Amino acid sequence: MARTIAILGGTGPEGSGLAARLARAGEHIVIGSREALRAQETAQQLRAGLGGGAQIDGAENAAAVAQCQIAVLTLPFSGQAPLLKQLKSVWKPGTIVIDTTVPLAATVGGSPTRMIGVWQGSAAEAAAELLPAGVSIAAAFHNLSAELLAGDAPVDCDVLVCSDDEDAKKVAMELAVKIPGVRALNGGKLENARIVESVTALLIGLNIRYKVHSAGVRFTGLPAK
């Protein structure tokens, strides 16, 4: 069955990178933004870059959520709670949310290599509290930088997927491996997202110290697939 994936915050580098990668793999993408026009402009730019029959549309966030079966949150941490509160009455039962949010101090003017303490333990757990019953959540894609997602080169990085819902975890892992080079790993329960999110701050620090933009993570001693 055809499905629609909304990328909320999809006009930013991370969201548009994921949108392009998934559209290239044949998924139908709707870019979500606070402004419909901005979302449509980003969608048009991505379609032009991909060519062919890439299915990428743009809509205001609520309209994007209303038509999707899967929603990917690619927002700064400061925008996560306000958006989820705004969308509370829009979600359809059965929707799967994939949260990529990292609570970096940079979102409130601090250092990009430091984390903000989140009372719930992680940004993903905070998001889970703001979703209505019947909507499941998985945490994934935290350690894929926008620079790694740009273009079409294989990505040298593992993606850890954490969730308390097996269907949500399965869907997130299926999407992750649509990106060439990526291996999806079962990261366990949603509470483990607090560990995975913090690795992003470490990777940012490595990028700065080594003057690169491509630091990722690989786990050894595991099956190739």
Task: Write out pLDDT tens, residues 81-122.
Answer: 999 999 999 999 999 999 999 999 888 778 888 888 889 999
Average pLDDT of the segment spanning 169-194: 97
> Is residue 10 scored above 90 in pLDDT?
yes
Give the least confident one: 66-80, 100-114, 126-140, 195-209: 100-114
In a domain, 49, yes or no: yes
In a domain, 222, yes or no: no
Domain of residue 74 covers 4-210
Q: Does pTM surpass 0.85?
A: yes
Report whether 70 contacts 6 (CB < 8 A).
yes
Count of domains forming the chain: 1
Q: pLDDT averaged over the chain?
A: 94
Burial class of residue 93, CB neighbours in 10 A (0-12, 13-18, 19+): exposed
In a domain, 225, yes or no: no
CATH number of the domain residue 124 falls in: 3.40.50.720
List residues bridging with 138 in a β-sheet.
98
Distance CA 68, CA 96 (A): 9
In a domain, 16, yes or no: yes
In a domain, 125, yes or no: yes
In a domain, 28, yes or no: yes
Distance CA 167, CA 172 (A): 9
> Is residue 224 scored above 90 in pLDDT?
no
In a domain, 14, yes or no: yes
In a domain, 103, yes or no: yes
Distance CA 55, CA 3 (A): 11
> Is residue 217 scored above 60 in pLDDT?
yes
Reference 143, options 132, 156, 154; nearest CA is 156
